[in-house]
């Protein structure tokens, strides 16, 4: 029991740390967009890189904050029916949702890894004038999936512990 609780704690602390640190990317994103507007309209010197880089930063923001949002129960959920379930049925629903989500995010990790590895192995570049390598942004998919999987496993562990302790 203590080992499971320790692993749950590590997963939650990791997601909290990564999520909070990644949430700061939105400020970098905003700074770059303001820079682009000033460069374009005041100095008549638009950049070729800001919009693409901001897209990549936003992808990182979404990928790395997903597990943190799941930890905080911030994703959309349909509680209209769930709130009327008895405790045992809520437990079963939580288990089913966790297993399905775990399966989906493991597949997303696996396919994302293949996607990123292909970009790395072939030295893929963007087809824009800026033309950065694409493997770092494509690697966000498996990395973000990994943080989701960690949090799903933590939630699954908490549900099982609640059931074993008799509070469900």
pLDDT by residue for the chain (168 residues), tens only, comes to 688 889 889 999 999 999 999 999 999 999 999 999 999 999 999 999 999 999 999 999 999 999 999 999 877 777 888 888 888 888 888 899 899 999 999 999 999 999 999 999 999 999 988 889 999 999 999 999 999 999 999 999 988 888 887 755
| Model pLDDT, residue 75 | 79
| Model pLDDT, residue 52 | 93
| Model pLDDT, residue 83 | 85
Q: Which pairs from 127-135 meet CB under 8 Å and 24+ separation? A: 128/48, 128/52, 129/48, 130/48, 130/49, 130/52, 130/53, 132/49, 132/52, 132/53, 132/56
Q: Domain range for residue 74?
A: 2-165
For the chain, what is the domain count? 1
Rounded to whole angstroms, how far apart are CA atoms 76 and 91? 19
| Model pLDDT, residue 167 | 59
106: which 2 tokens? 């493991």
| Model pLDDT, residue 84 | 87
Rounded to whole angstroms, how far apart are CA atoms 145 and 74? 17
Q: Give the helix, strand, coil percentages of the chain, each rounded to 5.
A: 75, 0, 20
123 burial type by CB count under 10 A (0-12 exposed, 13-18 middle, 19+ buried): exposed
| Model pLDDT, residue 88 | 85
Rounded to whole angstroms, how far apart are CA atoms 38 and 44? 9
- What is the value of pTM for the model shown? 0.84
């Amino acid at each position: 029991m203590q080992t499971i609780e320790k692993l749950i704690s590590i997963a939650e602390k990791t997601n909290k740390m990564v999520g909070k640190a990644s949430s700061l990317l939105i400020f970098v994103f905003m700074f770059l967009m303001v820079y682009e507007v000033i460069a374009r309209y005041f100095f008549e010197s638009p950049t070729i890189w800001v919009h693409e880089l901001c897209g990549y930063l936003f992808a990182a923001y979404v990928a790395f904050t997903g597990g943190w949002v799941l930890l905080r129960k911030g994703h959309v959920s349909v509680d209209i029916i769930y709130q009327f379930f008895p405790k045992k049925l809520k437990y079963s629903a939580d288990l089913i949702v966790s297993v399905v989500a775990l399966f989906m995010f493991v597949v997303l990790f696996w396919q994302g890894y293949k996607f990123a590895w292909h970009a790395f192995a072939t030295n893929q570049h963007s087809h824009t004038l800026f033309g950065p390598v694409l493997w770092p942004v494509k690697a966000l998919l498996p990395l973000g999936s990994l943080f989701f999987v960690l949090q799903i496993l933590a939630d699954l562990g908490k549900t099982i512990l609640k059931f074993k302790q008799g509070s469900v």
